[in-house]
Amino acid sequence: MAVSRKIEEMQASSSFIRKMFETGARLKAEFGSDNVYDYSIGNPSAMPPEEFTKILLEEASKEDMHGYMPNAGYPFVREQVAAYLTEEQKVPFRTEDILMTSGAGGALNVALKTILNPGDKILASRPCFMEYNFYCDNHGGKLELVDCLPGFDLDVDAFEAAIDNTTAGLIINSPNNPSGKVYSEETLKKLAAMLERKSAEIGRRIYIVCDEPYRKIVYGGADVPSIPAIYPHTMVCTSYSKDLSVPGERIGFLAVGPELEDRDHVVNGAILCNRILGYVNASALMQRVVGRLQGLAVDVEQYQRKRDALGKILIDCGFDLDLPEGTFYLFPRAPMGDDMMVVNFLQEQNILAVPGRGFGLPGYFRLSYCVDDDMIARSEAAFKRAAENIFG
């Protein structure tokens, strides 16, 4: 075998997800894609705001603007981001705290490479985006998941019990994919107090790496508390993918808390890591575009409408779920705690969903409702037939 042993193993272990995608593709080929209800993928259905296309065309017409810039990004764009973030996060971010990245995935890898020593661990609350496993492993670290409280809230005591002197940081994802949970200020303050205490105890600053690409996809004016305002030793990793419905363009940033301990080393380390991981810099064109669109987001009413429509179908069918406060995912409980059984029964009716074990939490399943309204309506009968088999 000439491919790396680790990559070979990763290919093998991700085969169940690949099999799911293959089944989905087969079903679409067999029944036509109109007759398959694909709730498996989080590819935003909203169109980018008109303003995005307008600004993109303006910036794209500037011929001489596709060269290298400093690896951290155009200073004027970083300044635009810092100014907006100062309002949004209630922390005075400066230009030099911002590193423009290739999406949140790029920002997370850069942040983790910057802080991880070999064998260090990163903690996260299950359920979560399981790519975090790879992101930690890429840089010699290890992800350790701790259980959440009922209702998917962070279990601060569980985090505390998991911390030892190999703990470099926590990844906190709010609003959470897949549960839709937004962590409250109260929970975050409790977490921050614990981290202060434990950092002193282990003689090492424990960082929060805060992954928040869904911050603007929240309903009913829900407030997403600022984590760097509560715990200064926080790096914010995020992207414009969901705000502007442009996930394929890979544009986001890393914002290092201005009062973060060892800040200068972390910032310079992150700029170095962004370069040496081969990212070099975030797309020149997209940097200039998002710089001019600070705070803009798609109309979330369309996602709320879809959430309510799909939620009603599921509740009517007898599923147990809370409507999420943010994101565009439903995360219902799997009857009898068997996520694979539910996903298989749904698949029999041409409905594609992701089992909770894909997020570290069997016993639930995820439905991504960033899809056409029409598909949601058409899928109702299929959900009813699946429910009869599941509950019958």
Site for a second copy in 225-264 (CB under 8 A): 244-250, 261-262
Nearest CB to a second copy, comparing residues 146 and 273: 273
Strand partners for 211: 173, 237
Q: Using CB under 8 A, pick the residue from 114, 179, 226, 368 that binds a second copy.
A: 114
Nearest to 343 by CA among 3, 23, 1: 23
Show the site string, 199-228: x = touches a second copy by CB under 8 A, - = not.
-----xx-x---------------------
Q: Using CB under 8 A, pick the residue from 2, 150, 151, 374 that binds a second copy.
A: 2
15 touches a second copy by CB under 8 A: no
CB of 222 to a second copy, least distance (A): 25
CB of 342 to a second copy, least distance (A): 25
Name which of residues 270 to 289 contact a second copy (CB under 8 A).
272-273, 275-286
Nearest CB to a second copy, comparing residues 100 and 148: 100
Nearest CB to a second copy, comparing residues 108 and 224: 108
Name which of residues 285 to 344 contact a second copy (CB under 8 A).
285-286
Question: Per the omega criterion (within 30 degrees of 0), is the bond before 127 cis?
Answer: yes
Q: Show the tokens assigned to 230.
A: 């509560």
266 touches a second copy by CB under 8 A: yes
Name which of residues 33 to 62 contact a second copy (CB under 8 A).
41, 43-44, 47-48, 50, 53, 56-57, 60-61
Nearest to 353 by CA among 127, 39, 21: 39
Question: What's the number of CA atoms in the CB half-sphere (13 Å) around residue 351?
Answer: 28
Nearest to 350 by CA among 308, 385, 391, 320: 385
Exposed (0-12), middle (13-18) or buried (19+): which is 367, by Cβ within 10 Å? buried
CB of 298 to a second copy, least distance (A): 12
CB of 141 to a second copy, least distance (A): 9
Instruction: Calculate ∠ Cα 227-229-235, nearest 5°.
Output: 55
Helix 15-31 / helix 5-13 crossing angle, nearest 10 deg: 50
Name which of residues 74 to 113 contact a second copy (CB under 8 A).
102-103, 105-110, 113
CB of 262 to a second copy, least distance (A): 4
CB of 214 to a second copy, least distance (A): 16
Q: Using CB under 8 A, pick the residue from 17, 28, 69, 322 that binds a second copy.
A: 69
Enclosing H/E stretch for 46: none
What is the pairing mode between strands 207-211 and 142-146? unpaired
CA 315 vs CA 65, 308, 320, 334, 380: distances in Å:
52, 10, 7, 13, 11
Q: Using CB under 8 A, pick the residue from 90, 200, 268, 337 that binds a second copy.
A: 268
Nearest CB to a second copy, comparing residues 58 and 348: 58
User: Any idea how long the chain is?
Assistant: 392
Say how many residues touch a second copy, by CB under 8 A. Answer: 77
Nearest CB to a second copy, comparing residues 133 and 349: 133
Q: Do 126 and 360 contact (CB within 8 A), yes or no? A: yes
Q: Using CB under 8 A, pick the residue from 64, 150, 221, 392 that binds a second copy.
A: 64
Q: Do 188 and 227 contact (CB within 8 A), yes or no? A: yes
